[in-house]
């Protein structure tokens, strides 16, 4: 039977925020916040945490998650997800949900699943939202995307794209770090070598574009809180502690 799985890569050694998945907010580790959102997604048949760290593995077990231990040698989250997917041949659609998105909207995950299942030409699906603040355009932690007329991604960058030669014409979109893959597309992408543009920007989706794969996007009204830095963590704490 064809299944859809949400796989959450969670590594301990983050360059900007060490041990991020285990940091507790309101007495709950960040990885648990993400997992609790993921299991609410009705279109997913299973949710798996993929980690290279024993403490994360043990912590995930304490709150009832299905978790798989993976190699420490993976260069990116997609490689970690492939290792897990290889153990489950009945998984046809794979959703890469970042382990640092504790407030991910379940409707957004449903949209990613819908896109990858319904679009026969797409290898990957992902989400965008419109950037409304000028300061966000200059933030390299906020990845931007330009799409074609049919909603397929042309390029992703940490720089402000498109460049405004003529001011006030372009709309700008930020990338929400969640991906849907057809099984064969994920395996294909991770077999390619990392091109220069991926290594320069540290954006693995550029590997897919560089090799001619198609990434279907959808624009949603959602302002994600991805936790990459201490400032992001404090913003998340402030949000949940005031609720």
DSSP 139-196: -TTS-EEEE-TTSBEEEEESS-SS--SSTT----EEEEEEEEEEHHHHHHHHHSPPPH
Confidence label for 21 from pLDDT (cuts 50, 70 and 90): very high
CATH top-level class of 3-228? alpha beta
What are the tens digits of pLDDT across the range 105-127? 999 999 999 999 999 999 999 99
Q: For the full predicted model, state whether its pTM sits above 0.85.
A: yes
pLDDT of residue 19: 85
Decide if pLDDT at 84 tops 80: yes
d(CA 81, CA 74): 10
β-sheet bridge partners, residue 7: 48, 96
Decide if pLDDT at 141 tops 70: yes
Within 8 A by CB and 6+ apart from 29, the residues are: 21, 22, 23, 59
**Looking at 3-162, which runs of residues are DSSP E strands?**
3-10, 24-25, 28-29, 46-51, 66-69, 91-97, 124-130, 144-147, 153-157
pLDDT of residue 161: 96
Domain boundaries in the chain?
3-228
pLDDT of residue 23: 92
β-sheet bridge partners, residue 153: 147
Decide if pLDDT at 28 tops 90: yes
Confidence label for 11 from pLDDT (cuts 50, 70 and 90): confident
Does residue 56 sit in helix, strand or coil? helix
């Amino acid at each position: 039977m064809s299944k859809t799985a949400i796989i959450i890569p969670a590594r301990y050694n983050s360059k900007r925020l060490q041990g991020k998945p285990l940091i507790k907010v309101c007495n709950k580790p960040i990885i648990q916040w993400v997992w609790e959102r993921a299991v609410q997604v009705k279109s997913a048949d299973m949710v798996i945490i993929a980690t290279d760290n024993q403490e994360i593995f043990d912590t995930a077990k304490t709150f009832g998650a299905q978790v798989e231990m993976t190699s420490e040698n993976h260069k990116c989250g997609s490689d970690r997800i492939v290792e897990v997917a290889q153990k489950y041949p009945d998984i046809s659609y794979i959703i890469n949900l970042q382990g640092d998105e504790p407030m991910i909207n379940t409707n957004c995950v449903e949209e990613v699943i819908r896109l990858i299942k319904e679009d026969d030409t797409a290898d990957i699906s992902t989400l965008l939202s419109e950037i409304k603040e000028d300061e966000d355009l200059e933030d390299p932690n906020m990845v931007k995307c330009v799409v074609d007329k049919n909603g397929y991604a042309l390029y992703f960058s940490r720089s402000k794209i498109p460049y405004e030669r003529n001011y006030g014409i372009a709309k700008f979109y930020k990338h929400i770090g969640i991906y849907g893959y057809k099984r064969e597309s994920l395996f294909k992408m991770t077999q390619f070598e990392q091109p220069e543009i991926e290594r320069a920007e540290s954006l693995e989706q550029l590997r897919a574009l560089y090799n001619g794969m198609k990434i279907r996007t959808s624009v949603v009204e959602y302002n994600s809180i991805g936790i990459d830095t201490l400032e992001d963590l404090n913003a998340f704490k402030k949000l949940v502690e005031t609720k």
